[in-house]
Amino acid sequence: MIPENTIDVSIALDMSGSISNEMGRDMLSEVKGIMEQFTSFKIKLWCFDTDVYNYAEFDESNVDEIDEYEPTGGGGTDFMCNWRYMKDNDIQPDRFIITKQGYTDAFVRADPDFKISKQEQKPYFWYNVRDEGGLRLTDNGYGHLVTKLDIKNWIIDIRDNELTHRFLLDLDKFIDCPYYIVKGRWPKIVIFKEQTYFTLALHNKDFESFLNVHKI
């Protein structure tokens, strides 16, 4: 059993062209925050755009070296490069984290009328504010993306999937873009990335098949 105050994670910093250097530093601060929460940790860190850059490993013995880490990138965005990289290099963390800060900052910048304080922004957009909590949107977050930002989305019927705790955890771990769960008699998932939608379409929109393929 892993002690409660230890963590073994891989963290990917989205450094695509839409992410500024300041935003990169903010995301790195979040990594430091994760380190400070645990007495023992193993963190594999890298940056990505359409490829992976600047792989580094940190634990208690070299924690100060995080201050010298340089976020690198600047190209397009391909979240799936992270899973390819982990599979190719046999990286099997307890959790894989893509920081939310880049998404949050982009949503805020896109709406000049958005007045919520920085401290309240993550709870407004994200169902789980922790970076390891995945990219599931809150009701407010979903409404904002659809009505305020008019972001294109794709809907998948999931009535054949039982919304178990394990299923929801797997969605958080493997869905590589913001998404929203519509509950009720006919549950659906709203996907905010075309590539992810078409990847699911290749699996006949079968989430169990999709999740099994992407599990490390």
Amino acid type, 56: A
Residues 6+ apart with CB under 8 A from 5: 38, 39, 40
Start-to-end Cα distance in the chain: 20
> Is the confidence at residue 102, as pLDDT, over 90?
no
Confidence at residue 142, expressed as pLDDT on a 0 to 100 scale: 96
Domains of the chain, start order: 6-99 (3.40.50.410), 112-216 (no CATH)
What whole-number percentage of the chain has pLDDT above 90?
A: 24
109 or 116, greater pLDDT:
116
CA distance 166 to 168: 5
Confidence at residue 159, expressed as pLDDT on a 0 to 100 scale: 77
Q: How many residues does the chain have?
A: 216
Using only the alpha carbons of the chain, give its radius of gyration. Answer: 17
Q: Name the DSSP letter for residue 43.
A: E
> Is the confidence at residue 98, as pLDDT, over 90?
no
Confidence at residue 208, expressed as pLDDT on a 0 to 100 scale: 60
Confidence at residue 163, expressed as pLDDT on a 0 to 100 scale: 76
106 or 88, greater pLDDT:
88
Residue 54 three-state SS: strand
CA distance 155 to 59: 41
* Region 32-48 average pLDDT: 88
203 or 106, greater pLDDT:
106
175 or 111, greater pLDDT:
111
Confidence at residue 175, expressed as pLDDT on a 0 to 100 scale: 78
pLDDT digits (tens, 9 = 90+) for 177-209: 889 999 888 888 898 877 677 766 665 445 565
